[in-house]
Each structure stands twice: as structure tokens, then as C-alpha cells.
């Protein structure tokens, strides 16, 4: 894409018979098929936004995070790439950088607003960039885009774009911590609040021109090494997973309703919960030797402390991260992320429905 737009700039300058302007401004025509990728969510998708917050850096700012692919810590919670990194590649886009990264950015390719620890609700974690704040940043970026292109071109680009989400898991882990013995009706009420606020966010994106929404749903929260470390014999904790299941049913229903009520609104949901269940139940089928204990961390199941709080504490590190499903207590290895990306991008209806991401990207929205 970079070279295409560059050539167009050069041509424009030649035809006009002008000397090259100081900056070849972004007022070029984007090829019609160019689909940007905007990413919102939590640590599963955060490429390093939290590095730029005025809080103590997270462990993902330190070795061994990033060791496999980047050879340095980037703020990603994995040994290597995350799902959006692979998806950008499949979409023929460059890797989408963190929105907060200083310096010029090509918003015509997209931007990543995700923040580790974030929830749909700000009260889930006030220290990071909650979904409403991510939306504020998104709106700021839309203004910049409209200035760089023009209103009509920006609108078209926002309409073709894909909006990829991973959000909700932290809200439910937080709720579970605070309301371990919540009643069924309290759980349902909380799911309603999360889905209600998420729906507001999706309608805002729709209002700004967004049409193509993709979700990675809430995972098998009770089988994370961090959840196992709190149970007898390291069994999966049932309650957080039950919350995720309630959420995932409500999410599918909400998106279906939005598609039928908002003209042009289209979505895809990748069943992350199911993908992790399958790998937890049958690791070797997917090429993993270990799906309970994390590659990096200390204590039971190496559930925490990967990176050792900036080298102050000891932790264990496996030799081959690709043998493991989990890199740390809550996040997959690059190998796992690659498998998930393939399912999200090209998986059949039992993985990603009602269409996969490739089909969503290729849809022409009238």
C-alpha cells in the first residue's frame, strides 16, 4: 500500500508539472480496495499502548516478553506477535502500531487503541485506557483523518474499515473477584450492563461511519494458569468461565440485533472460548506439549510474575515457548496466537460466524 500511494503522489506531481511540494500530502486517492484495521480492546490486542501511560511500566515492557519475534519487549503480552499483528499481515497492511506511540502514523492503514487491563467499564480498571476512553481517542483520530483526506474520502475509508475487538474478559475477572458468589440474577444483570455499554460503543462507531465489526469473544477464563493457581489440584475454575459463556451468548444476540436494525452493519465473531477449550482438552492435537502451566512465571502453573517485576524477582522461563499454549498466566504464546488468527481470518462457521474476517473484509457495503 505504501508504494501504491507513493507512486500516485509522484504521478500527480509530474502531471501538474510542478516541483515537488514539501510534503506529498495525503490528499491522494486511496485504491478502492484499501481496508484499514482499527483495533480496540485489552491485553490480548495491546501492542504497547500502556508503555505511554504515566503509570509504572507493566511487566510486558521487559524481557522475556517479545523474545521470539521482536527480540525485545514491545509491551505485547506474549513472546511474539498478537492476533492483530497476524491479521494486519493477512490484510496486506503493515503492522498496526499503538495509537499512543509518538511520531507520525498512517491512520489510513488503521490504528490500535487496545490497552492491557482494559474493560468495557472504566471501573474495571481506572489505571488503563478503558473502552470509552479508547473511543475518545478514536474520535480524535477520525478528526485527523478528515483533515488529511477530506470528509468524503475519510468517510469512505471508515466505512470500508474493519473494527476488531477483544474486550470484556477483564470486566468478568474483576466482577468474579468482587462477587465470587454472585447469584444467577446478579450475573445476568452484570452481563446486561456490559453488553449495554458495548452496544453504545458500537453504535458510536456506526455513527462515525463504521460498518464492519469483528469480535474475538470472551475466553475460557477459568482455565488460564492464573485462574488454575487458585483452585484445588489446579482444576479450571468454573465460575469465570460460566460468566464468559453468558457474555458470549449475549454478545452474539446483541450483534445479530444490530445487524438487523442498522443498515449496512455487518459483523463476525471468532469463538475464542471454543478455540481455547479445544486446545486445553487436547493440546497435542494442536502441537502443544503443555496447556496448563505457562511458559514464563513463578509459583503454581507459573501463574504470575513473568518478567520478574523488572528483574527484581526470580521467575522460570521455558526453553521453547511454542511448546506451550500460554506464555504467561493470562496470555497465549505467539504460536497459539497464530493459530487463533488463522481461525479468525479463514475459519469455518464453527469457529467464526456468521462470516469469517476474510469474508467481512471483502464485503462491499453500499
Please report, as ranges, the residues that interact with ligand NAG according to CB under 6 A: 121, 180-181, 193, 196-197, 200
Kindly tell me which of 196 and 230 has the beta carbon lying closer to ligand NAG: 196
Shortest distance (Å) from residue 198 CB to ligand NAG:
9
**Residue 193 beta carbon to ligand NAG: minimum distance, rounded to whole angstroms:** 5
Residue 122 CB, shortest distance to ligand NAG, in Å, is 7
Which of 178, 364 has the CB closer to ligand NAG? 178
Catalytic residue among 85, 229, 298, 331: 331
Query: Known catalytic residue: 341?
Result: no
Catalytic one among 5, 34, 42, 43? 43
The residue (of 200 and 320) whose beta carbon lies closer to ligand NAG is: 200
Minimum CB distance to ligand NAG, residue 181 (Å): 4
Active site residue 151: no
Q: Do 226 and 330 touch, CB atoms closer than 8 A?
A: yes
Query: Measuring CA to CA, how many Å separate 66 from each of 44, 75, 295, 299?
Result: 14, 8, 13, 22
Q: Please give the Cα distance from 262 to 209 (Å, whole number).
A: 11
Choice among 229, 304, 328, 341 that is catalytic: 328
Give phi and psi for 280, each to the nearest 5.
-75, -40
Minimum gap (Å) between residue 169 Cβ and ligand NAG: 17
**In terms of CB distance, is 56 or 180 closer to ligand NAG?**
180
The nearer residue to ligand NAG, 183 or 260, going by C-beta atoms, is 183
Q: Tell me the closest approach of the beta carbon of residue 197 to ligand NAG, in angstroms.
A: 4
- Closer to ligand NAG by CB, 123 or 364: give it: 123
Active-site residue numbers? 43, 328, 331
Amino acid at each position: 500500500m505504501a508504494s501504491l500511494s507513493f507512486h500516485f503522489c509522484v504521478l500527480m506531481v509530474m502531471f501538474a508539472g510542478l516541483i515537488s511540494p514539501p510534503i506529498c500530502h495525503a490528499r491522494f486517492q486511496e485504491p478502492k480496495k484499501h481496508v484499514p484495521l482499527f483495533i480496540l480492546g485489552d491485553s490480548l490486542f495491546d501492542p504497547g499502548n500502556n508503555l505511554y501511560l504515566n503509570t509504572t511500566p507493566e511487566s510486558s515492557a521487559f524481557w522475556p516478553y517479545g523474545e521470539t519475534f521482536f527480540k525485545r519487549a514491545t509491551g505485547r503480552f506474549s513472546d511474539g506477535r498478537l492476533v492483530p499483528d497476524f491479521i494486519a499481515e493477512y490484510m496486506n497492511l503493515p503492522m498496526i502500531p499503538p495509537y499512543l506511540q509518538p511520531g507520525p502514523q498512517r491512520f489510513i492503514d488503521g490504528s490500535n487503541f487496545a490497552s492491557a487491563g482494559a474493560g468495557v467499564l472504566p471501573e474495571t480498571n481506572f489505571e488503563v485506557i478503558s473502552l470509552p476512553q479508547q473511543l475518545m481517542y478514536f474520535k480524535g483520530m477520525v478528526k485527523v483523518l478528515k483533515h488529511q483526506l477530506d470528509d468524503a474520502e475519510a468517510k469512505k475509508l471508515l466505512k470500508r474499515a474493519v473494527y476488531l475487538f477483544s474486550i470484556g474478559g477483564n470486566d468478568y475477572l474483576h466482577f468474579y473477584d468482587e462477587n465470587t458468589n454472585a447469584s444467577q440474577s446478579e450475573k445476568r444483570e452484570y452481563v446486561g450492563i456490559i453488553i449495554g455499554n458495548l452496544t453504545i460503543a458500537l453504535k458510536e462507531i456506526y455513527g462515525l461511519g463504521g460498518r464492519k465489526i469483528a469480535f474475538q469473544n470472551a475466553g475460557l477464563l477459568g482455565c488460564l494458569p492464573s485462574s488454575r493457581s487458585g483452585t484445588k489440584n489446579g482444576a479450571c475454575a468454573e465460575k469465570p468461565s460460566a460468566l464468559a459463556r453468558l457474555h458470549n451468548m449475549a454478545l452474539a444476540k446483541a450483534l445479530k440485533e444490530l445487524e438487523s436494525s442498522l443498515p449496512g452493519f455487518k459483523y463476525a465473531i471468532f469463538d475464542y472460548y471454543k478455540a481455547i477449550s479445544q486446545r486445553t482438552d487436547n493440546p497435542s492435537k494442536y502441537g502443544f506439549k503443555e496447556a496448563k502451566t505457562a511458559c514464563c512465571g513463578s509459583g503454581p502453573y507459573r501463574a504470575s510474575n513473568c518478567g520478574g517485576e523488572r528483574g527484581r524477582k526470580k521467575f522460570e522461563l521455558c526453553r521453547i515457548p511454542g511448546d506451550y499454549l500460554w506464555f504467561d498466566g493470562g496470555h497465549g504464546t505467539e504460536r497459539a496466537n497464530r493459530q487463533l488468527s488463522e481461525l479468525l481470518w479463514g475459519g469455518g462457521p464453527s469457529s467464526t460466524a456468521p462470516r469469517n474476517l476474510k469474508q467481512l473484509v471483502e464485503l462491499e457495503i453500499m
